Amino acid sequence: MSRAGKIARRSFLVGAVAAAGGVAFGVWRYRTPYANPLLAGLNDGEAALTPYVLIRPDGITLITPRADKGQGAYQVQAMLLAEELDVTLDQVSVDPGPPDVAYWNRALAEETAAFLVPGDGLGRDAAETVVSAASKFLGLQITGGSTTTPDGFDKLRAAGASARETLKAAAARATGHATDTLSTKDGAVLLPDGSTLAYTDLAAQLTEVEPVTEVALRQPSEWRLIGHATPRLDMVAKSTGTQGYGIDVELPGMVHATVVLNPAQIGALGSYDTGEAFKISGVQSVVEITGGLGVVADTTWTAFKGARALAVSWPDGPVPPEMDDHWQALSDSFNDDALDSRKRDDGDVDAAIAARAGDVIEAEYRAPYLAHAPLEPVNATVRVDEDSVEIWTGTQIPRFVLANVARITGVAEENITLHVQMIGGSFGHRLEDTVVRHATEIAMQMKGIPIKLTYSREEDMTHDFPRQIAMGRMRGTVRDGRVEAFDLGIAMPSVILSQMARQGQSVPGPDSQIVAGAFEQPFALPHHRVTGYRAPPLAPISSWRSVGASTNGFFYNAGLDELIHAAGADPLEERLRLCNDPLARAVLEAVGEMSDWTGPDPGDGVGRGVAFTKSFGVPCAEVVEVETTDSGLRIRRAWVAAEVGTVVDPLNFENQVAGGVIFGLGHAMNCEITYADGRAEQQNFDSFQAMRLYQTPRIEVRGLENGDRVRGVGEPPVPPAAPALAAAIFAATGTRLREMPFSKFVDFA
Amino acid sequence: MKLTVDGTVHDIDVAEDMPLLWVLRDLLGKTGVKYGCGIAQCGACTVHIDGEAVRSCQVPALDVWGAVTTIHGLGTPESPHPVQQAWIETQVAQCGYCQSGQIMQAAALLSEMPDPSDDEIDKALSGNLCRCGTYPRIRAAVRVAAAKLKGA
């Protein structure tokens, strides 16, 4: 192509980016859209229609910048683009694209705003605006908060529609037909005579037309993909061992590495002796890294063996040594000095409780630290050259990874290439990037050589930043068979503060995660209060699937259950009576109908429990059924209903919901991370098991679509699982469980 | 020594305690075999030795007593084994990291026991951990695979 042609094409492409920013579609409108990051890599005859659609003569690539950790993010993003672009999923390839501000997450920014200002009023809206704008400039390309679907639902369909109409304009120009006589199907423009022009054949023509930005999105009745079960693009690879993950990266000249970190997490490196390690054939070097040592060897196994042979004298770390210290810190936080938020304060709780002195029901609840423990141990491959760096890793925070590697190496971000890898599970684990830091520190000491760092399972589990520890305290009263007052206080350290501080970010104001899954529940009680207390930093913690709600959903439902029991009411009926939100009511009614609910005690050693949590905007209700057997409690069945506005893919929806229930039940049954002498005690899956196949109940799932906002469902099924199980166990055995994991108090079959 | 993997004979010269898992992954490029725990608690590294499902993290490569079949030798994307076909049809995988091991365990079960009961499926696959919670579809896929193998 001529120089003039290139200039023309570039102008077109920049214009097209403006279209992609959503100028035509209101919701996604920004005055100055970001530049299209795909432009840099284009060859002649290729076009990047929006930052999400890349058309080359040899194929169509859909850019899916939210990370896939198994939740099907690539699939749902591709479906939303393909819906309007009129391609079938087998005609496209999917690529996570480069880390770029263009891929910032607006939906997450809106949720984050809740940290700043309590309440749902104007103050919060104003804060949303501020944080939204700030996040845009920070370019927070984060995968998290169940936001991939809500963030992409309009944006990606709009990008697909804009690209489709621009392809039609290019076809019109090439053929002389009027645009309104053209249609599109299966990756081609249909001409009036019935012949077709493949999108890929139009790649060069796209430089000649103005981008089309005024495109109305299709009505739901016109959807071909949304709402239909769609075979996943990665299913064949994941069923044949051919799906590559970060841990499988193989590069010419690559060496293998692992780390030995201070068992007292975030403690420093002490004195060490490498003598025994170097006696192992294949161990190449031992280098100092932040908080420990990196061992480089010819295979991962040799590196593991070398690591075990190191003799290190570790100094103490900052984590309080014993669990009693952690629980005491939470217990001591229930006071006005540690008050973080009181976002719910209906009626007059204090007066109601004072009036019933002597009849007040009180209880304390505990939720332990939990590891994320995805099955793929964290890993990163890094090659540091004089003026450039290349990284291969799975991450939910690609922009932070770039910034951190730039800071560590002194190499400018534009000279750092990040190849985002498929992730073998995360549950929030890959919102942290310590493994990349360690790999980079090792690679800086061996310039020009790609090093693949794989944590052993033991290092991964003991140096995870676990789910927060938390404590709930409930007081309440009942009157005339009804719950009258419910006062819930929750104490935990701020998970958002711990997490964001590691990225050099400050988080002003209260942390709504301290009360998430409790303060915003749609129940109208005469006297109702939810208070968050901020405990001091204890162990470093991070977001774990459903974050604050993972502990608070248990506290809230368990407390409410005790009050309902004291009132002599039915746990489902009383929740329905108190419920003041039609969307929430519908999911409660749904699980009642699905389970043929007749009460918590159907007899014959069987018990049933119900729980409800609204989290991430999704009302989710669950009924769990247990039976007592000679070998212990067995979870027989679970029924789940969740309201998400639109079920984008029913198959993936069911997988996410059932998986979330299993995740919630399994950890409630038998998982905890405990500290002794400041060190995590559980190191591997022998002491941190969660649910196995033989323990898995039959699970029935229903998605409701009554609401007008599309929601993500990766996290919301987790919080109600534990309290529904606790309630079922109470119904079956009479044992009231107020602390997780329940295996400390009852036996499971 | 000679090690037969997926029908190919390899000459290997490794430390006597090097597990088969790491020989497969780091020396022979069989990366579909996964490392998850290293202590036989997760099953992600499951392969067949003479048709029997074993945890390759626990078997020193020099002690291998027969022909090794990995997920790559069981079938391929172009020609998947009936158990792999069942996994694809049932859309089992989420992150997919455990599924090589699940499939190898299921294939070994069905070769010994063509028509397992629900309890037998649960028992046979309970050593294979899935952190995403794909268990309901794993159960369904084993049933589909059993039907395919009987019809084959």
The reported pLDDT for the residue numbered A151 is: 83
DSSP secondary structure letter of residue B121: H
The answer to whether the Cα torsion of A275, A281, A284, A287 is positive or negative is: negative
B133–A374 C-beta distance less than 8 A: no
Test B135 with A662 for CB contact under 8 angstroms.
Answer: yes
Q: How many other CB atoms are there within 10 angstroms of residue B54's CB atom?
A: 21
On average, the pLDDT of chain A sits at 89
Query: Nearest 5 degrees, angle CA A693-CA A670-CA A597?
Result: 70
**What pLDDT, in 10s, does the model give residues B16-26?**
999 999 999 99
Question: Across the interface, which of B42, B70, B103 has its CB nearest the CB of A685?
Answer: B42
pLDDT of residue A89: 94
By C-alpha distance, which of A26, A23, A16 is closest to A53? A16
User: What torsion, rounded to 10 degrees, do the Cα atoms B123, B124, B129, B132 define?
Assistant: -80
- Spatial strand order in the sheet of A389-393: A283-289, A292-297, A255-261, A451-454, A379-384, A389-393, A416-420
The residue of chain B with its CA nearest to that of A699 is B136
Q: Which two tokens stand for residue A476?
A: 């309440």
Q: Following DSSP, what letter does each residue of A482-541 receive, concatenated? A: EEEEEEEEEEEE-HHHHHHHTTT----S--GGGTTTTTT--B--SEEEEEEEEEPP-S--
Measured in angstroms, the CA of A458 and the nearest CA of chain B are apart by: 8
Residue of chain B whose Cα is closest to the Cα of A456: B37
* DSSP H/E element including A247: none
Which residues in chain B are closer than 8 Å to A427, comparing Cβ atoms? 131
Nearest to A423 by CA among A373, A376, A372, A371: A376
The pLDDT score that the predictor gives to residue A140 is 66
pTM of the full structure: 0.92
What H or E segment, with its residue span, contains residue B68? Answer: strand B68-69
CB within 8 Å: B76 and A256: no
CA distance A513 to A178: 55
Q: Do residues A71 and B94 lie in contact, with contact meaning Cβ atoms separated by under 8 Å?
A: yes
Nearest to A234 among B36, B96, B123 (CB): B96
Q: Which residue of B has its CA nearest to A422?
A: B95
Q: Which residue in this structure is represented by tokens 């057997």?
A: A629
Instruction: From chain A, pick out residues whose CB is under 8 angstroms from the CB of B133.
Output: 658-663, 666, 691, 696
Pairing mode of beta strands A527-535, A482-493? parallel
Low-confidence residues in chain A, pLDDT < 70:
1-35, 39-41, 45, 47-49, 101-102, 104, 106-140
- Looking at residue A55, its pLDDT comes to 85
Output the CA–CA distances (angstroms, integers) from residue B11 to A271, A672, B27, B56, B62, in the order listed.
41, 45, 11, 18, 11
pLDDT of the residue at A121: 34
| pLDDT value of position A506 | 78
pLDDT of residue A214: 76
User: At what angle are helices B135-151 and B82-90 packed, to 10 degrees?
Assistant: 140
Query: Distance, in angstroms, between A250 CA and closest chain B CA?
Result: 9
Q: What is the pLDDT of residue A740?
A: 98
Put simply, the answer to whether A70 touches B97 (Cβ < 8 Å) is: yes
Q: How far is A472 from A74, CA to CA, in rounded Å?
A: 38
In whole angstroms, give the CA distance from residue A14 to residue A570. Answer: 61
**Which of A234, A299, A375 has its CB closest to that of B22?**
A299
| Rounded-to-integer distance, Cα A99 and Cα A398, Å | 5
Q: What is the ipTM of this complex?
A: 0.99
**Residue pairs spanning A and B at CB distance below 8 A:** 187
Q: Which residues pair with B19 in a beta bridge?
A: B60
Nearest to B88 among A239, A690, A691 (CB): A239
Q: Which residues of B touch A689 (CB under 8 A)?
A: 41, 129
Is-contact A452 A255, C-beta < 8 A? yes
Token pair of B72 as six digits: 């790559």
Nearest CA-CA distance, residue B150 and chain A, Å: 20
Q: Report the sign of the C-alpha dihedral through residues A264, A268, A271, A274, in that order.
A: positive
**Within 13 A of A531's CA, how many CA atoms are on the CB side?**
20
Tokens coding A615: 């989290």
**Chain B residue with Cα closest to A637:** B136
pLDDT of residue B61: 97
Interface of A with B in 420-439 (CB under 8 A): 422-427
User: Of A240, A377, A666, which has the smallest distance from its Cβ to B75's Cβ?
Assistant: A240
A631 touches chain B (CB under 8 A): no
